Amino acid sequence: MDRKRRYEELLNNMNQYNSGSKGITRVAFTNEEQACSHAFMRLCKNEGLEIRMDYAGNIIAKREGKHKKLPPVVIGSHLDTVYQGGKYDGVVGVTAGLEVIKRLNEQKIETDHPIEIISFACEESSRFGVSTVGSKAMAGTLQKEKYQQLKDKDGIAFEKALSLCALRFDQLDLASRSQERFKAFFELHIEQGPILINNNKKIGIVTGIAAPVRLIIEVKGAASHSGTTPMNMRKDALLGASEIALALEAAAKQEQHHGTVATIGVLSIPMGAMNVVPGIVEMKVDIRSTSIVSRNKVLDALSKKLDDVKERRGLEIISQEISKEDPVHLSEELSLQVEKICQDKSLPYQWMQSGAGHDAMNMTSLGPVSLIFIPSLNGISHHPDEHTDLDDILTGIDVLEAVVLQQAVDLSS
């Protein structure tokens, strides 16, 4: 079987684990995600890798090197998806790691350093509003006290979701590898944007990753009959939330020259009905930028608007910050190695930043990190129409294989 067909079968194998009829739904800590994870573990075992799942649900598959005590070269990404997502986000990076191992095995190449593939748990924020949980736990930076009371759209608590996967909330800290050091960490990922496609580039060399602040805002007014409550006597939580949403958009547009963006991805009205003035609205807010100063300006504008709406409309507004991360700068040395490989292979490439967060950003405390992008058709991601050409994925794997070998083989020995 040729490499292209082999990889296509591998990708399709992973994407058969799907709970939805539209796109791919393989949400963190669900039966589908766990089944996919265990299937991946079996495939890794078939390649002779040592397999373990840590206390956060991360899968770690290790190919030993000549020298077991040398720090590992690591390839990582995630298998979970958003609701009704695409077939490529995350899963390409994990399967690319396995394809690299398959190539090394078929060529009988023994590396000096061990090589690990990591499939990180709960990278996507779609279920609980918090992202990159597994990689934070591995880096030893997980602030788990913020997570315990979080619930998904079905009312299932984060702690309960873990227990259903035979994981314990009180043991998440045991996943930390903060006392270890990686030789290098690589993540191959679809761009999720239009830059590479628009510029006819095959590889994106990422220099930095924007970091989000995520908030849950609860707006409380007074539920009342829509037909009997005069307009001037209403405490309409939805109208207050609408003002907040528009003000957030305006604040982000003021900072768009920094690449700063803001999104209200969830807005819910508990017990809402057509003939009831909304009494409670919950909003989930995502603000991100590679500039902390710019991001803070948007946060400040949001805070002022909350105070304004609260005062004018007589509403109660509670804002809870559930995560806050700093922008991350990636390894220049590894980026230059990737650039040289692209030049040697005559591949058009581009230096760029990532507006989306990735597990790679949490690995910078464990060693040098490189994030490599491949094109996304029309820049679409987190959507059933997400698409990356198979040939573009294989090109990315070629680059990944080359740079992993450079790091895993000790030329001085």
Question: In this predicted model, what pLDDT tens digit does every residue of 95-128 receive, in sequence order?
Answer: 999 999 999 999 999 999 999 999 999 999 999 9
Question: In this predicted model, what pLDDT tens digit does every residue of 58-88 receive, in sequence order?
Answer: 999 999 999 989 999 999 999 999 999 999 9
pLDDT over 80 at 329, yes or no: yes
Question: In this predicted model, what pLDDT tens digit does every residue of 218-265 receive, in sequence order?
Answer: 999 999 999 999 999 999 999 999 999 999 999 999 999 988 999 999
Band (412; pLDDT cuts 50, 70, 90): low
The pairing of strands 73-78 and 184-190 is parallel
